[in-house]
Structure 1
Amino acid sequence: MKKKGFIFAAAAMMAIGMAACGNQNSSDNTKTSNNGTTKPINWMETTELVTLDPSKASDSISQNTLQNTNQGLLININGSTVKPGVAKDYSVSKDGKTYTFNLRHSKWSDGSEVTAQDFVYGMQRTVNPKTASQTAYDFDHVENYDAVRNGKMPLSSLGVKAVGKYKLVIKLSQPEPYFKYLITGSDFFPQKEAFVKKYGSKYGTSAQTSIYNGPYKVTNWNGTNESWTLVKNNEYWNADHTKIQKVKVNVEKDSGTAYNEYQSGKLDEMMLSTKQQVDHYKNSPEYHQRSNSGTYYVELNQKKVAAFRNMNIRKALSMIINRAQFTNDVMGDGSFPAKGAVGKGVAKYNGKDFTDAAYVKDAVSYNEKEAKALFAKGLKQIGKKSISATITYDDTPLGKSVNEFLQSAFQKLPGFKVNTQNVPQKTRMTRAASGQFDITVAGWQTNYPDPMAYLKLFTKDNPYNFGKWNNAAYNQYVNAAETTDANNPGKRWDDMIKAQKILMDEQGIIPFYQRSQPQVMKTNIKGIGYSPTGAIWNFTDAYLTK
C-alpha cells in the first residue's frame, strides 16, 4: 500500500488448499535449538491474513508475514537501510542500470537449494499478466517490462537473468534511485517453480500450499481462519540467529477484547486504538509511539458517480472534513492530519520535508462556509439539486468510526445524502479494485523512502487509482521523475513537487490523516524490528528476557 506494505488487502478470497508434502506445516511442532526459547510471543493483528503468494500480496498483513517467512536479495528492517539477504553482496554499474547480485548458499524449508533461477522465475511470475499481480508496476524500470507486460515479448525477455546457480543480473531501462529498496519487497522474492506449478491456483492460499526461505514458516492457517503461527524455519541460512521459536498471531477486530486480553496476559502486544487506552498506558514502560509512513485518503469514484468529476464538488468534500477533530477526538492515538498524498518524514531534499515543499493548504483545510459554497456551485454546474452516495469501508471499530465521522461531515453539505456500509477488508478491496463503490477510504504505506511510492498510485493506468482521476500534466511530471530526470536529484524533486501540487489543486484524492500507531508490548520482549516503511514488524532479531 505496499508495498509496499500497503494498508490494503488483496482483492479476492483465496481457496483452501491441502499439500501432500506439507505435513511439516500443519502443526506448531518444531525443533528447538539450544540458543532459542520455546516460549511463544502472542501477537495481535487487526485484520486477517490474505495471501502468502509473494506475487499477489498487497496488504500490510500479508507483506509483514511474508517478510518474516521469506527473504529476498536484500532486506530492509528499519525503513532506510538495506543489508544483505539471500545476496551476500551486490554491485551497481556506473550508469545505474545494471545490478549484479552474488547469492549465498541457502535453502527452502523443504531442504532444496534456493538458486538464481528461483529469483528469475519469481520476478517473471509477478510481471506475467496471467498472475494479475497488483504490484507488477514495481518492475516498470526493469528492461523490457512494458513489452513483456503487454504480451509483445516473452517472459524470458524481462531484464532478469541467472548466471549459473548463484549469480543474478538485473538490467534496468532507466536508472531508478530507489531500486535497492524495491527489491526488498515480496514481489521480487524467489519462488520455486515446481512448487508453484504443483499447487496452481491454490499456491499461497494456506500454510500447506506455501514454501519458505526466511527465518520462519507459517503453520495453522487454512486460508480463512483468523489466527496463525510463525514457527522457526531450521532450514533458514541464518537459523542460529533466530531466538524466538514461535510467534502466535491472533486477529482481534474488537479493541476492547484485545485490551482485556493484553491486560490478562493472553496477548504480549497490541496496538492501542482508543484515546482512553492511550491515556491509560502513555506513561508506562510498555508504551511505544510508532511513527508510520501510512497516509489515508478518501477516494471518489469518478467513473461510477458523474458528480465526482466536478472539481468544485470534490473540493467541497475535502473542505468539509475537520481532520484535526478526527485525529484528536476520534483517533486520539497520535495520528495527525495528512498534508498531501505523500507521508510526512518519508523524504527530504536540502533539509526540507516533501510534505512541506508540496503543501497546498486549501486541499486539506477545514472551512465549512466555503465548502458549502463550492458544493452549491458544483451542483449548479452539473444541473443537479442533490446527489447521493455511499461510503464503503472496513467492518472494524475504526472503520465504523471513520464512516460515521465522514457521513456526519458530508451531510453538512445541503443536497448531499450519504449512506454508509461496513464490510470485511477483503470485500472492500475487491469492490475498490473492480470499481464497485461510490466513496471509500484507502491507505498507502510505502516500502521505500521516496515520494514516488505514493505519486505513482494516481497515474492514469495504475491499478490502485481506484477513483480514476486523470491529469495529463501530472502523468508527465511523474514520468519525467522516473525517466529523463532520474539521475538529476534537483529536477526530479521539482517534478514530484509539481505533480503533488496538481493532484492537490484538482483534489484528485482527499487526504485524510497520517497514522501514528500507539503500541503496548511486554517489557521482556526485546529486539523487535520496526519500520515506518515496508513491512512493519520483523522478528529476526527478537529475543525474550526472563
Structure 2
Amino acid sequence: MRKKKHLAITLATALVLATILTGCGGGKDTETNSSGGNTPQVINVATTQDPASLDTSKLADSASNTVAQETQEGLVRLEDKKLVAAGAEKWENSEDGLTWTFHLRDYSWSDGQKVTADDYVYAVRRLFEPEVACPNAGIFYMIKGGEAYNTNKGKAEDIGVKAIDEKTLEFTLNEPTPYFLQLMNFVNLLPLRQDMVEKAGDAYGTDPQQVVYSGPFVIDQWVKGSKIVLKKNENYWDAESVKLDTANIHLVPEEATRQQMFDGQSLDLIQNVKQEYSDMLEDRIDKGEVTSIKGYYPSVGYIAFNNNDPNKIFTNEKVRLAFSLALDRDGYVKNVTKKDQAAYAFVPYGLNNGDEVFREAVEEPLKALKNQDPKELLKQGLQELGLDPDKQIEVTFLQRNADADTRVIGEFYQSQWEENLNVKVNIDTASDGATFNTMIMKGTYQVAQTGWGADYNDPMTFMGLFITGDGNNSAFFSDSQYDELVKKASTELDMGKRLEMFKEAEKILIADKAGIAPLTFNVASNYLQSYVKGLSIEAGGPAYELKHVYIEK
C-alpha cells in the first residue's frame, strides 16, 4: 500500500495545520505566486458566500466571522489549540469567579488611534442593545445586567462591564461560568469604535472604508459577489509576525469550481472536500505538491423543523421524529455528500466537558431509536394534530441556494421523505445565503437544512442554541425541562453532574421532542498547496487563520 503523507488528527479543541511537505508554486500571475525573484506573499482562499456584514455586533455566520477575526483583535486569540494573549496582555479571575479583569496591551487601530477599554465596553453594550438584535446576545447573559438590557428591562450603564482606566477592562458576572475565558475569542466581543459606528449610522458594516481595523489585516476591497481583498495592517501590534502582504478571499459557491481552481493553483487552500476528490489528490501528496489535514472539526449539519410551523405539521414531536428517522444518514454521507460522518446526536466530536471529550463519554441518543417505524410515528402525529393520516400531506423544504451541490442534497431529502413517509415534498430555493439565513431566523419556512460550528471548546456552544428564545434557535424549539437542564449546566462546576445534564438535554432535543434532526458531523479533509506554510484551522476561530501564514518558494 502506498504511504500516505497526510496528517490525521483527532481534535479536542481545534484542527491545527502542520505543514509536512515542501514544494514550489511555479508559473503564477501577479495575483498569485510567481516562481522568480522574491516570492510574493499572497494567498488565495475561498468562501461560499459574501459576509452578511462587517458589523461585529451582528455577526453569526462563518463567512462574516472569518473576515472579522482576520481584521480585528480581541482580548485573546486562538493559536495552536490554545487561547493566547492578544489585545489583553494578561488577566485574572476573582476568587468567587464573578469578576474578570483584563489588562490591555498598548495597541492601535489602523488609523493610528489607540484601542482602549472603552472600545470593549461599547462593543459589549451594543451587542445587548435591543435595536441591534445581535443573534448571539443570549450566549453572554452570564454578564450582569446583559439580559435585562437586551430584553428592555434594564439600562446599558447597569451591564457588568466597565473601563477601570484606558487599559483595564472589568467584567462582572451573575454566576461563575466555567467557559467564560473561551468566550473572549468570540466575534461579538471584538473591540468597536463608537465614533465610526455613529458616523456611518444604519449603513455601518456595509462599506469597508468606513470601518477601522485592529487585527493582522485590513479590508482593501470588497467586490460583492466576487471577492474580498485583505492587506497587511502595518499598524497591527504584532505586525512583525504577519508575513502575508495580501489575502484574496474569492467567492466560489460550487465545489467543482473550487476543485478546478485548486488544481490550477489559483486557490491555495480547499476545505471539506469530497472523498473522491481527496482520493485524486493522493498522488500529488506523494509528490510533495500538496499537503493535507484531516480530522474531526466540531460542527454539525442538521435539519431544522419549524416548531412553530403555521401549517401545523411540524408542531408535533412525533411528526418531527418521523421525518428524522426516515432519513438514511449513512447512505447520505456515502452516496450524496461523500464526506463527513453520519450524526445521531447533536454535540459533535472534538469538544470537551472539562478534561473529557463529551462525545466519547455520551452515546449518540438517536441510535437507540433506529428501529422505530417512521410511518407509524407520522400516522400517530397526524392523528394528534386532528388530520387524516390516510390523506397525503404536503410540506415545503427550503434550500440555501440553487447551486448544483445544494440541489442534489435537496433532492435526496425529497426522495427520502416521499418514499419512506409517502408525503409530497416541494422544494423552495432562497436567492442566496443571506436571504436563506434571514428566512430561517424569521421562521418563514417549514423545514430546512442548516448547521452550526463551535465558537468555543465546550458543549454549551451547541446546547445553548435551543434554549427558548435564543437568537440562534433556528427551529424555534421550546421545552422547559431542556431550558432548565442547559441553564444549570452552564454554571455547574462539577463536570460529572454537568455531563449528565447535557446528556439528558440532548436526548430531549433530538429524540424525545425531536426539535431538530442531526445529519452529519464534520470530518474535515482540507488541502493546501505545499508552498503555503503556517496556516491553521482553529475551532472557534476563523475558517482559516492567516496571521502566521507565509509563502515559501
> Scaled by the length of structure 1, what TM-score is found?
0.89
Aligned residue in 1 for 2:382: 379
Structure-1 separation of matches of 2:466 and 2:450: 12
Aligned residue in 1 for 2:46: 44
Aligned residue in 2 for 1:502: 508
Aligned residue in 1 for 2:302: 297
Structure-2 separation of matches of 1:57 and 1:192: 16
Please list the CA deviations of residues 421-457 of structure 1 after superposition, one character each: whole Å capped at 9, or x if unmatched. Answer: 2321111111011110010112110111111111111
Counterpart mapping for 1:203-242 below 5 A: 203-222=204-223, 224-242=224-242
Structure-1 separation of matches of 2:170 and 2:116: 13
| Equivalent of residue 518 in structure 2, options 511, 521, 539 | 511
8 Å contact 1:298–1:440 — kept in the other structure? yes
Structure-2 separation of matches of 1:121 and 1:364: 48
Q: Which amino acid aligns with 2:53?
A: T
Please, which runs of 5 or more residues in structure 1 have no aligned partner?
6-27, 30-35
8 Å contact 1:107–1:236 — kept in the other structure? yes
8 Å contact 2:358–2:459 — kept in the other structure? no
Change (3 A) 1:58 1:364: farther
8 Å contact 1:141–1:174 — kept in the other structure? yes
8 Å contact 1:340–1:355 — kept in the other structure? no
8 Å contact 2:89–2:103 — kept in the other structure? yes
- Whether 1:256 and 2:256 are equivalent positions in the alignment is yes
The 3-state SS of whatever aligns with 1:533 is coil
Aligned residue in 2 for 1:81: 82
Give the superposed CA RMSD.
Answer: 2.1
The 3-state SS of whatever aligns with 1:106 is coil
Structure-2 separation of matches of 1:351 and 1:143: 29
- Whether 1:489 and 2:490 are equivalent positions in the alignment is no
8 Å contact 2:353–2:499 — kept in the other structure? no
- Aligned residues: percent identity? 27
Counterpart mapping for 1:448-463 below 5 A: 448-463=456-471
The 3-state SS of whatever aligns with 1:342 is coil
Aligned residue in 1 for 2:167: 166
8 Å contact 2:49–2:251 — kept in the other structure? yes
The 3-state SS of whatever aligns with 2:477 is coil
Q: Which amino acid aligns with 1:268?
A: D
| Equivalent of residue 397 in structure 1, options 404, 407, 410 | 404
Structure-1 separation of matches of 2:360 and 2:50: 32
8 Å contact 1:354–1:497 — kept in the other structure? no
Aligned residue in 1 for 2:533: 526
Which is worse superposed, 511-520 or 393-402?
A: 393-402
Q: Which amino acid aligns with 1:254?
A: E
The 3-state SS of whatever aligns with 2:63 is helix
Structure-1 separation of matches of 2:232 and 2:455: 25
Deviation of 1:466 (Å):
2.4
Counterpart mapping for 1:405-416 below 5 A: 405-416=412-423
Structure-2 separation of matches of 1:153 and 1:360: 40
Structure-1 separation of matches of 2:382 and 2:78: 48
The 3-state SS of whatever aligns with 2:222 is coil
- Whether 1:440 and 2:448 are equivalent positions in the alignment is yes
Deviation of 1:414 (Å):
4.3
Aligned residue in 2 for 1:472: 480
8 Å contact 1:372–1:413 — kept in the other structure? yes
Please list the CA deviations of residues 359-387 of structure 1 after superposition, one character each: whole Å capped at 9, or x if unmatched. Answer: 2134773x5x8122222232333322222
Structure-2 separation of matches of 1:273 and 1:544: 23
Aligned residue in 2 for 1:10: none
Q: Which amino acid aligns with 1:107?
A: S
Deviation of 1:294 (Å):
1.1
Deviation of 1:151 (Å):
2.4
8 Å contact 1:69–1:213 — kept in the other structure? yes
8 Å contact 1:41–1:248 — kept in the other structure? yes
8 Å contact 2:41–2:550 — kept in the other structure? no
Please, which runs of 5 or more residues in structure 2 have no aligned partner?
1-13, 15-29, 32-37
Deviation of 1:81 (Å):
1.8
Change (3 A) 1:279 1:490: same
Deviation of 1:354 (Å):
3.1
Change (3 A) 1:160 1:358: farther
8 Å contact 2:69–2:541 — kept in the other structure? no
Q: Which amino acid aligns with 1:453?
A: T
Structure-2 separation of matches of 1:356 and 1:379: 36
Which is worse superposed, 392-401 or 161-170?
A: 392-401
Aligned residue in 1 for 2:426: 419
Aligned residue in 2 for 1:53: 55
Change (3 A) 1:363 1:54: farther
Change (3 A) 1:150 1:381: closer
> Scaled by the length of structure 2, what TM-score is found?
0.87
